[in-house]
Amino acid sequence: MPKAYWVATYRSIRNPDAMAAYAKASRPALEAAGGRVLARGIPAAAFELGLMERVVLIEFDSVESARVAYASPAYQAAHDLLGDGAERDIRIVEAVE
């Protein structure tokens, strides 16, 4: 079964305090669900309409484990802390093997 990657790309962060609370709670929730944070922060470079805003890359053992992590009560509690404090999208992609 191929690994999967959760890619969160932010368009804007409206509430830095809500973002900080979310970040503090979400990482342990995702790690408890088997996620491994590979990269996070402001891009070193952005091309073709890319934004210089926060990006997070998390590795999971499978697409299903990434989906389960997103739906977990611990992650949803972290998600609730963020509320509308950021505009972003989260994508789960399967690795090429």
For residue 75, the one-letter residue type is Y
- Please give the pLDDT value at position 54: 96
The tens digit of pLDDT for each residue in 8-47 reads 999 999 999 999 999 999 999 999 999 999 999 999 999 9
Considering the four listed CATH numbers 3.40.50.150, 3.40.50.2000, 3.10.20.30, 3.30.70.100, the one that applies to the domain covering 4-94 is 3.30.70.100
Helix crossing, 73-82 with 63-71: angle to 10°?
60
Contacts for 27 with CB less than 8 Å, ≥ 6 apart: 37
Banded pLDDT at 97 (limits 50, 70, 90): confident
Q: CA distances (Å), 38 to each of 14, 59, 76, in order?
A: 24, 7, 21
pLDDT band at 93 (very low <50, low <70, confident <90, very high): very high
Sequence ranges of the domains in the chain: 4-94
